[in-house]
Amino acid sequence: MLQKGSKINKPEGKLKKRGGSQVRAQIAEWGLKVDLPRLEEAYLNSKVLTQRQYAAVIRLLEIFGRELSAAANRMSLRDTETEPPMIRRAKAYIAGHYGDPVGLAEMARTMQCEHLLLLQNV
């Protein structure tokens, strides 16, 4: 049985009789109803990759995976940048003055948000 990451290396040319009989026996053991001539034709007409072609496909998939990951990271960062500029400035100010006491009036002046001063009287 194939598992993730495995591949089939079928021989060039026609399916060997021995291999074909093993497949037929396994299908019979599983009790499957399969059109055997059609299955054999599909197998014999399937694309066979050389080792070089197979390696190229794997390389392309690796590149695609890295690009997909980078795109997902960019989308994630873009989503975090959608918060209002005032909030970003406030976070940056607070991070820069982490150890300092920061009052509402000072924050309002720094952020140029005089309407925050109204909250001081509440």
pLDDT tens sequence across 51-110: 999 999 999 999 999 999 999 988 887 766 677 777 778 888 888 888 888 777 777 777
4 domain residue, yes or no: no
Residue 11 has pLDDT above 70, yes or no: no
Asked, for residue 67, whether it belongs to a domain, the answer is yes
Closest to 92 in 3D by CA, of 111, 117, 114: 111
The residue range of the domain holding 66 is 49-82
Q: State the total domains in the chain.
A: 3
Mean pLDDT of 9-20: 52
Q: What is the pTM of this model?
A: 0.38
Res 10: pLDDT: 54
Residue 113, SS3? coil
**Whether residues 105 and 119 fall in one domain:** yes
Phi, psi of 21 (to 5 degrees): -70, -35
Chain centre distance of CA 93: 35
Both 58 and 37 in one domain: the answer is no
Whether residue 87 is found in the same domain as residue 122 = yes
109 shares a domain with 94: yes
